[in-house]
Amino acid sequence: MLQKIIECVPNFSEGNDENIIKQITDAIESVDGVMLLHVDMGKATNRTVVTFAGEPSRVVEAAFLGIQKAAELIDMRTHKGEHPRMGATDVCPLVPVSGITMEECAKWSIVLAENVGESLGIPVYLYEEAQINKQRSNLSVIRGGEYEGFSEKIKLPEWKPDFGPLELPLKHGATVIGARDFLIAYNINLNTKSTRLANRIAFDVREAGRVKREGNPISGKTVLDSNGEPVRIPGTLKSVKAIGWYIEEYGMAQISMNLTNYKITSVHKAFDEVCSKANDRGIRVTGSELVGLVPLQPLLDAGKHYLSKQGRSIGVSENELIEIAVQSLGLNQLGEFKPNERIIEYVLLDRTKKLLVDYKVHDFVNETASESPAPGGGSVSALSAALGVALGSMVANLSADKRGWEDKLSVFSEWAEKAQNIKKELMFLVDEDTNAFNKIMDAFQLPKNTDEEKSIRSAAIESASVYATEIPLKTMKVAYSSVDILKYMVENGNPNSITDAGVGLLCIKTAVRGAYFNVMVNAKGLKDKDAARKYATEAKSILENNHRQIDEILLKVEEAINF
């Protein structure tokens, strides 16, 4: 089962005093098992976005301590900033990352909200998935009137807090706590200093759009519906909130956006639409910035989008997709965008552990040649398969880029993308095969002084041996799945690269047989002989099918190069 991990992204109303923010983040980091992922201080907005993650109960504890420290140190009576806000901790969302549902995340946010309201005396409003009353689940609606207007708003029956006191504590204000999907805070830079023009573009694109007016769209009389409510002209982008502002630090106006569901409106769709609307108003987009951390997927999607617009294959490496996205979106304009520090999946990686796939080729070969038993044949087999399918991807990309083959671009691009996905699985198996071997070694080193210890040790050895059998079997399956790709490249790909596809097939043939050896030797040692025979039967079937198909395809390679 996946470990339950949630992310917490509190926004604190302080962006200039590093000492205050350091005290808040120190309080958060005092909880064992919580990882501080990112701290983004904004001077003009006078606001800091902090991101941390961990097991739910620990994250909730850390969030409470952060909110407590912010209430102690931040005085809202003197706070000034560009961003809307209503308290020292303005908003504190919990976001499901892995192994946990949104419903569970919402329950944890209610636990946090109740504790903050009752223990710290802070009025708390639930929002998004934690709020049952959908009339007050939207953050901008809750925050309407901001800190300056909340002393009166809180007294209204419909704005009674969900937890905490019924009056606004003037020093630290109120806060909003809830659960939501990833919200991407995204600012798009303009070649103007005009907040007015930036707001017009923001109104063009945001889902809420703008109020409809009679005659002059700016100064005309507001059009009301039958209920006396203003009629709105919706913007072009769903699940997008946006305003325009001027950032003195940068000397430019920005469109400040919240993408509340990037699966509905992606980063690249938002960027392209703002570019279009800005151009209509004689303004040029010069770049953009992501605030805080961002999931990997929207950047991969952006990379594929811009490669497709360029008429290129999307079947390239993850690193290249990210690079294309960063360059196309202008994410380096205001400061270097560092993927290892800004993409949440990368930040959460355990970088204290050296992965085999991170070695340079020279070092990997030397490590394999050393007296250490790992990496061994299983890891080398997985690496051989990864190289084989990488050659298939290379031929697909070369074919997609071949002059005169433009009508075949989408077909070869799909094959290249499939190859990249298989390659990624195999790269994981390079290290996982060594991990499986190490599990067996660890099991053999368990104590065996008593009958109970012997029983525990025996069960651990059997369990580790099963895993060490299943991993190379997985390598066989994944490697075998690449044969269709290489077959297509031999038969239909760029003829100048047919031998590259042939070498890829030889790599796969070696990989499958090498992984087969590991399946058999580990299955042979299992106490469960029925399971052992099942593993062996499946491995033999894959081996035979793989070799037969590859040998048939290699004959075509031989025919093509003979003279």
Q: Are 35 and 28 in contact (CB under 8 A)?
A: no
Q: 417-472, pLDDT tens digit by residue?
A: 999 999 999 999 999 999 999 999 999 999 999 999 999 999 999 999 999 999 99
Q: Which of 70, 102, 100 is nearest to 88 (CA)?
A: 70
pLDDT of residue 395: 97
Question: Exposed, middle or buried: residue 77 (CB in 10 Å: 0-12, 13-18, 19+)?
Answer: exposed
User: Whole-angstrom Cα distance, residue 320 to residue 43?
Assistant: 33
Q: Which position has the token pair 């490590």?
A: 367
Q: Which of 105, 158, 153 is nearest to 128 (CA)?
A: 105
**pLDDT given for residue 514 in this prediction:** 97
Instruction: Tell me the residue type at 192.
Output: T
Which of 377, 380, 293, 306 lies closest to 341 in space, CA to CA? 293
Tracing tokens 């009339």 back to the chain, one arrives at 135
Tell me which long-range contacts 552-555 makes (C-beta under 8 A, separation of at least 24). Answer: 553/483, 553/486, 553/487, 553/490, 553/505, 554/502, 554/505, 554/506
The pLDDT value recorded for residue 45 is 86
Q: What is the pLDDT of residue 42?
A: 87
C-alpha of 510 from chain center: 35
Determine the Cα angle at 147 with ends 143 and 152, to 5°.
90
Residue 182 · residue 242 · CB < 8 Å:
no
SS3 track for 135-199: HHCCHHHHCCCHHHHHHHHCCCHHHCCCECCCCCCCCCECEEEEECCCCEEEEEEECCCCHHHHH
Positive or negative, the Cα torsion across 427, 429, 432, 433?
Answer: negative
Structure confidence at residue 415 (pLDDT): 97
Q: What domains can be seen in the chain, in order of their start residue?
A: 5-179 (3.30.990.10), 184-347 (3.30.70.670), 356-561 (1.20.120.680)
Q: In this predicted structure, what is the pLDDT of residue 1?
A: 43
For residue 217, the model assigns a pLDDT of 72
Residues of the chain by 3-state class (helix, strand, coil), percent to 5: 55, 15, 30
Q: What is the mean pLDDT of each run of 10 residues along the chain (563 residues)?
A: 80 94 96 89 89 93 97 93 90 88 95 96 95 90 92 93 95 95 91 95 94 79 83 93 92 94 94 97 96 88 96 94 97 93 80 81 93 90 97 96 93 96 96 93 94 94 95 97 97 96 98 97 94 97 97 96 92
Catalytic residues: 83, 433
Q: Which residues of 443-475 are buried (b: 16+ CB within 10 A; e: fewer)?
A: beeeeeeeeeeeeebeebbbebbbbbbebbbbb
What is this structure's pTM? 0.76
Residue 325 is which amino acid?
A
Query: Given this model, what pLDDT does residue 447 score?
Result: 94
Structure tokens at 373: 């038993």
Is 487:553 a contact under the CB 8 Å cutoff?
yes
**Cα–Cα distance for residue pair 242/265, rounded to 1 Å:** 13
Estimate to the nearest angstrom the gap between the alpha carbon of 267 and the chain centroid.
13
Number of H helices, E strands in the chain: 18, 13
